[in-house]
Amino acid sequence: MTGKKYQYIDLTYMYEIADDDLAFVREMLASFIEKIPPQFEQLLNSAVVSDYKQTSFLAHKLKASYQLMGVKLLADMAYRIEVDSAENPEPAILELVQSMKPLVDLAIGELQTELALIPLKPSSDL
């Protein structure tokens, strides 16, 4: 259903968690699309002001959401930002965060495509 259908996302894990409950997948995708861009902006802002403790914390949190949606490239970058911000804080971290922005947009675009394919129906488990 998902596999290599997309370039930036892989929803295999998300569908495994949902156990064929498409309504739940729909809710999760919609939530990611709504909440992740502002969270990324927070990450960017913390990197801009060189608040490395906050940058590391936010990258850690974003990493988990990226993993959930199989956005491996962004999850790997978030992990690098998380570790570097904690262990070796330097201005280059801002460049890395900034380089994530177009990838976030592309991943969101693919998730919107997938979301449009899932029929509207409330989940029975939430």
Partner 1 sequence: MKTILLIEDEELILRALEFRLKRDGYNVIKAADGREGLHQIETNNFDLLITDMMLPFNNGLEVVGKVKKIKGKAFPVIVLSNVGLENTVLEAFKMGADDYITKPFSPAELSIRVKRLLN
Q: Which residues here bind partner 1, judged by CB under 8 A?
A: 13, 16-19, 21, 24, 27-28, 31-32, 35, 57, 60-61, 63-65, 67-68, 79, 83, 123, 125-126
CB of 29 to partner 1, least distance (A): 10
11 vs 91 by CB, closer to partner 1: 11
Distance CA 29, CA 113 (A): 10
> Least distance (Å) from partner 1 to the CB of residue 88?
15
Nearest by Cα to 46 from 33, 56, 34: 56
Give the nearest distance from C-beta 123 to partner 1 in angstroms. Answer: 8
Amino acid at 116: A
Instruction: Kindly state the DSSP code that residue 119 receives in the 8-state scheme.
Output: P
| Minimum CB distance to partner 1 smaller for 27 or for 89 | 27
Give the tokens for residue 64. 């988990």
